[in-house]
Amino acid sequence: MSGASDRHPDIHWPSGFSPDQAHSFCQTQAVVHAPPALAFALLTDVPRWPEWVPGLTEVRAGPLARSFEVRFHGHRFEMYTGEHVPYTRLGWSGVGAGVQLYQAWLLTPVADGTHVVTENVVRGPSARSLKTSSPLWARRLN
């Protein structure tokens, strides 16, 4: 698991959700062999997430535009899109299972396709206790 010092300098964070304020933080990077438009389309096709996101079994549209609900490892999360800049940036916040989270995505074109960085900040009493009592669940959140 990465620490707040590993954060990408170009990720935007909403107030209260910087990696320095996190009870749990994780960063992942990869090069996707597809153009940014295709990678972005996949990430924003929320109804199809259960096809490729491990542990995510259900997605439902929310009551507001750009809101949705997911069932992740048996827990319900209400999700709200925070940042949406086509082909370059995404961010959404979620509330559920005793935690609040924000997941940010940064997509940058490279010669082989798209360099993708995703960072997750998780806050709340469950996130604090999960680090020690249930490391597996903490890893799933990240």
pLDDT, tens digit, 9 for 90 and up, residues 112-142: 999 999 999 988 877 766 555 555 654 554 4
Q: What's the predicted TM-score (pTM) here?
A: 0.83
CATH, domain 4-141, list 2.70.70.10, 3.30.530.20, 3.40.50.300, 3.30.420.40: 3.30.530.20
Tokens of 54: 């491990």
CA nearest to 126, candidates 98, 93, 96: 98
What is the DSSP pairing of strand 67-72 with strand 56-61? antiparallel
Residue 50 has pLDDT above 80, yes or no: yes
Q: What is the mean pLDDT of residues 15-43?
A: 92
Residue 15 has pLDDT above 50, yes or no: yes
List pLDDT tens digits, range 60-76.
Answer: 998 888 999 999 888 99
DSSP string, 79-111: EEEEEEETTTEEEEEEEETTEEEEEEEEEEEET
Distance between CA atoms of residues 33 and 48, nearest Å: 20
Residue 21 has pLDDT above 90, yes or no: no
What pLDDT score was predicted for residue 68? 95
DSSP class of residue 22 equals -
